[in-house]
Structure 1
Amino acid sequence: MDEGLLHDEGLIRRAKALACTAPLHDLDANKGKVEWADAKVYQMAEIGLHAIDQVAIAMDFDTGASRRHVLDRVQRFVARQAPNRTQEEHARVARWVLDSLINHGDVEKAFHRPYGAVDADGVYRVMTFPFKLIVERRDSAGVLYLHASHEALNVLVGALDTDVESAQEAAEVKLANLIRRGRLADAKQVAEQARIRTIQYGELIHAQLEATRRNIASVDWLEKVPDLLTEALAHVQERVRAERAIAKNMAEARDEAQNLVRKRQAAELVVIVEDCIRRHIRLQQRLLEAREVFRAEQDRQQFSLKPQRSTFDLFGQLLRPALGLTVAEAVVPVDCFFARATGLGTQDIPRLATLVPALLRPAPQPARFAGPVEDPQVEPLEDVARFTSEQWEMAEQLLHLPGSVRSLSSLLQEAAQLDADLPALVALLAVYAYNPDSGAAQRRGDEHVRLAVRADTVLVSAGFHGDDLWLTTAQVLPDTMGGTNQTRDGGPGK
């Protein structure tokens, strides 16, 4: 068998990591389906990455980001992409992107992507990879907050299969080198990635503690988790020392800088590094409390288990021993078993007046058939159409106005002379033409579309009252502008 076709874990990890980026690409692929705005101007994938970034930055060890806070920050980013649009549209785009990343349209709120793998027999099989990007959780007080998943953090920092601790150390070394070389813009990007790595490291510890609270037997507290806690404590102590030195140097560079741009970049770096220090201190506190959590959960789960009772072997524990005893010796254990197995019971004392008729009552003969089947009463449905095909044809002829413009009042008067019910149909079609879907007409291949605009006169005609309308028929031009709706007025302007 070809060795290259065997089970490849690296290929599977990369396929899963690539699948995590699919919801971001779907945002741009589906923005053309947005009906409440022209969303082509927005870069939805970038907005999605910015939303994940805001959720991840606001996350802590056991808390998350407020939905209102995330939407406010994302709305500002959306406004940068389209400053000429309204604030209502910016807010709606931000909500649409965030809800798409939470996957509100799915019951499980999880994305499902297929990926292939070669099993031990060399057969290629297609499986489904479920994952989430942003999840909704509740804290101990019942407050709903947003939480970025492990897959979302991988998508955010661009490291699709990297050890967390080694990536954190590499980011710290790279950050120090960039600062020494004066490349503060690049150092800011590395510092932001290091902060995300810190959040991801905390999520790894948090997942182990949550699994311990659910079922202590599912977590290896003998070797794996103690080694992980020891390594994590050493890692956090080293990172705190390094980050404090970096923050101190950057604070001095910020105070001594004469260039305003360099001063601002240094100040931003100080804020990010201090946030990393704060997160590492919180993580260190949780690591020190982790073994206490293990011992508390061990006591709670050990003494809260339901009592287990073994089943009784009737053949081996009662029948076979009883057969070896005499009748007088076997009466006591057998009577004890049946007294407890059958439970309590009350004996009914029959009366002669009810016992004799019950004994003499003949047994009922079961019926072979259930009975006659009644035929259902079926009534024909009546035609509920209000207008006939002839009335539709007359209305279309009246409203087909290429090269001319007519008022709705004059059309209603002419329709009333032709048919008594025709004005209602003409008025209905005229109101529908007040806001025509020219794009749909263009996609259907229609040559004309009916248009209606408001006139400055009052409508009092054929029993209808309100604002009068000007009606005309416009020609639909072919699509030559990349999907832009194009119509040409068929008559003089009014």
Structure 2
Amino acid sequence: MYDRREATPVNLPDEGLARRAKALACTAPLQALDENKGSLRWVKAEVYQLAEIALHTIDQVTISMDFDSGASQDKVLDQVERFVALQASDRSAEEHRKVARHVLQRLINIGTVDRSFSETYGSVDEDGVYRRYAFEFNLLVERAGPEGNVYLRATDEAINVLVGALDTDVESAQIAAEVKLGSLIKRGRLAEAKLAAEQARYRTVQYGEMLRQLLDATTRDVRAVDWEHEVPKLLADALVHIEERYEFEHRILRNISEARDKSDEPLQKQRAAELVSIVRDCIRRHMQLQKRLLTARSLFREEQDRQQFAELPRRAVIDLHGQVLSPLLGLSLRDALLVSEGFFRAAVGPEPPALLGLPSLVARLLKPAPERERLGEEIPEPVLEETAAEKPPFTLEDWAATDTLLDLRDTPRPLSDLLTEAERTSPSTAALLLHRAVNAFSPAVDERIQRGESHVLVGVRTGDLLDLPGFGGDDLLLYSAAITTPPDDANTGRDTHVPEDVAE
């Protein structure tokens, strides 16, 4: 008899079941967009197919990705906004932009700590026990660019969502896709060939992303990557793969060009032109990948030398949110204060004293002075530059005119009358006269005596104000007082006397 129970060994591990469960888990964030769109209060989202918008967003990011950089968030939003507008053309452009940004943020999973999705799946282990595991993944990730900008990259899980598979052999899948593409082109089925070409390009991006992750891991820690066996074999296989794909894609490109030239239908020509663009993009990505493969070993040697002499980290970085803040919020106020004081006391570190200690002060005082050179340091040769002669603010004619006006030995005169006469000569003469009159308000008699002058200009306030255009302040009464020197004193021989009219 045939026992059906023996033909179904349920106690053996089923790897295919786990892979299909992970494939469903990767599509869960896209399905959640349509399931929860009724809860969006800022838009009536029933008209939008958010899962399709999410697939289009991943598609745009994947196509725009490069080996060294990713996709610009603004450019991706511009492309997705056009697709959103096709679903609801009667809505405003602002709403289309908000919907596109909402889907993009959900794919990045903004709002979580590590920005990763987590789904639970089950699998039977080698002991025949069914166990549950947490599958954490990302669809779109943000990375910092060399110029400080932020760009987007699609993960392997996101690319697998586009092609409908998970954890497949990238090289085998790409070869199969290109063989299928060539067969479709030969049979003239260009509509299906376009889909196959897009899947081949996704696999090209995924292959380059896998190598880029290995090089990035090498940059962080060379010990995390097996450069003795795994990576050299991978680099050799990748170079052979690129050579084969390069020849095959050029044959496909020739076949597409022939199909485009022989066809008389405009739709066929348009599809053939789109295929030409996709295949040329695949060729460009393969050439860029080849360039990085040729420099991978030199990168490993440089990172090995750099990390060998780098100082090892002494202490692990603390997660302030997960290890400090979250547990602290669950404590009482008394316990939280004790934990906070202990954390900040250890985190801030010791504070240096404001004053030196006696041992260090004595050591500094007893430290011998450094030996100096006998001739001292070399004196640099000064560089002399000629400067243009400054033009004096007042000319000799201005000084002569003011000397004539201020010769007041006979009769004192008010400043307002003198300024009126000086302005008739020139404005600079009036400015010089005002300057000399201000100095006469408190004259330095001793300096005049030492210089041997016979008269000193004295100015006193009259109590009136200047009522002239361009001048303001108190009016002064100016007078040239004579300086007389009496006979030498017996004690000093240098005493001088100022006449009474000056003193008054």
Q: So what's the TM-score if we normalise by structure 1?
A: 0.61
Partner SS, residue 114 of structure 1:
strand
1:374 aligned partner: none
- Structure 2 residue runs of 5 or longer lacking an equivalent are 1-5, 315-356, 361-504
Query: Does 1:161 pair with 2:162?
Result: no
2:239 aligned partner: 233
Alpha-carbon distance, 1:297 to partner = 1.2
Q: Sequence identity of aligned pairs in percent?
A: 59
Q: 2:157 aligns with which of 145, 151, 154?
A: 151
Give me the CA root mean square deviation.
Answer: 2.4
Query: Does 1:272 pair with 2:278?
Result: yes
Partner SS, residue 295 of structure 2:
helix
Partner SS, residue 5 of structure 1:
coil
Q: Which amino acid aligns with 1:170?
A: A
Partner SS, residue 193 of structure 1:
helix
Q: How does 1:324-335 map to 2 (within 5 A)?
A: none
Cα 1:87–1:6 change in 2 (3 A) is same
2:209 aligned partner: 203
Q: Is the 8 A contact 2:185 2:255 kept in 1?
A: no
Q: Distance in 1 between matches of 2:90 and 2:43?
A: 13
Q: Distance in 1 between matches of 2:128 and 2:174?
A: 37
Cα 1:46–1:307 change in 2 (3 A) is closer
Q: 1:109 aligns with which of 71, 93, 115?
A: 115
Q: 2:141 aligns with which of 126, 135, 145?
A: 135
Q: Which amino acid aligns with 1:222?
A: E
1:80 aligned partner: 86
Alpha-carbon distance, 1:150 to partner = 0.9
Q: Distance in 1 between matches of 2:141 and 2:11?
A: 36
Cα 1:121–1:255 change in 2 (3 A) is closer
Q: 1:224 aligns with which of 227, 230, 233?
A: 230
Alpha-carbon distance, 1:117 to partner = 2.8
Q: Distance in 1 between matches of 2:251 and 2:126?
A: 51
Q: Is the 8 A contact 2:140 2:158 kept in 1?
A: yes
1:14 aligned partner: 20
Q: How does 1:307-326 map to 2 (within 5 A)?
A: none
Q: Which amino acid aligns with 2:286?
A: H
Q: Which amino acid aligns with 1:185?
A: A
- Structure 1 residue runs of 5 or longer lacking an equivalent are 309-343, 348-494
Q: Is the 8 A contact 1:7 1:120 kept in 2?
A: yes
Q: Which amino acid aligns with 2:48?
A: Y
Partner SS, residue 10 of structure 2:
helix
Alpha-carbon distance, 1:307 to partner = 11
Of the structure 1 ranges 99-108 and 244-253, higher mean CA displacement relative to structure 2 is found in 244-253
Q: Is the 8 A contact 1:14 1:161 kept in 2?
A: no
Q: Distance in 2 between matches of 1:177 and 1:14?
A: 29
Q: Is the 8 A contact 2:186 2:255 kept in 1?
A: no
Cα deviation digits, residues 36-59 of structure 1 (max 9, x gap): 221111111111000000000000
Cα 1:307–1:171 change in 2 (3 A) is closer
Query: Does 1:295 pair with 2:295?
Result: no
2:354 aligned partner: none
Q: Is the 8 A contact 1:184 1:262 kept in 2?
A: yes
Q: Which amino acid aligns with 2:181?
A: L
Cα deviation digits, residues 279-337 of structure 1 (max 9, x gap): 000011111111111111111112224599xxxxxxxxxxxxxxxxxxxxxxxxxxxxx
Alpha-carbon distance, 1:3 to partner = 4.6
Q: How does 1:356-371 map to 2 (within 5 A)?
A: none
Cα deviation digits, residues 399-445 of structure 1 (max 9, x gap): xxxxxxxxxxxxxxxxxxxxxxxxxxxxxxxxxxxxxxxxxxxxxxx
Q: Distance in 2 between matches of 1:285 and 1:54?
A: 24
1:181 aligned partner: 187
Alpha-carbon distance, 1:121 to partner = 4.2
Cα 1:345–1:18 change in 2 (3 A) is farther
Cα 1:307–1:33 change in 2 (3 A) is closer
Q: Distance in 2 between matches of 1:304 and 1:38?
A: 56
Q: So what's the TM-score if we normalise by structure 2?
A: 0.59
Q: Is the 8 A contact 1:137 1:145 kept in 2?
A: yes
Query: Does 1:245 pair with 2:251?
Result: yes
Cα 1:5–1:237 change in 2 (3 A) is same
Q: Distance in 1 between matches of 2:37 and 2:162?
A: 21
Q: Distance in 2 between matches of 1:156 and 1:306?
A: 41
1:406 aligned partner: none
Q: Distance in 1 between matches of 2:134 and 2:163?
A: 24
Cα deviation digits, residues 209-229 of structure 1 (max 9, x gap): 111111111111111111111
Partner SS, residue 4 of structure 1:
coil
Cα deviation digits, residues 158-191 of structure 1 (max 9, x gap): 1223210000001111011000000000000000
Q: Is the 8 A contact 2:11 2:129 kept in 1?
A: no
Query: Does 1:260 pair with 2:293?
Result: no
Q: Is the 8 A contact 2:23 2:165 kept in 1?
A: no
Alpha-carbon distance, 1:123 to partner = 3.3
Q: Distance in 2 between matches of 1:129 and 1:229?
A: 29
Cα deviation digits, residues 131-175 of structure 1 (max 9, x gap): 110011111211100110111011011122321000000111101
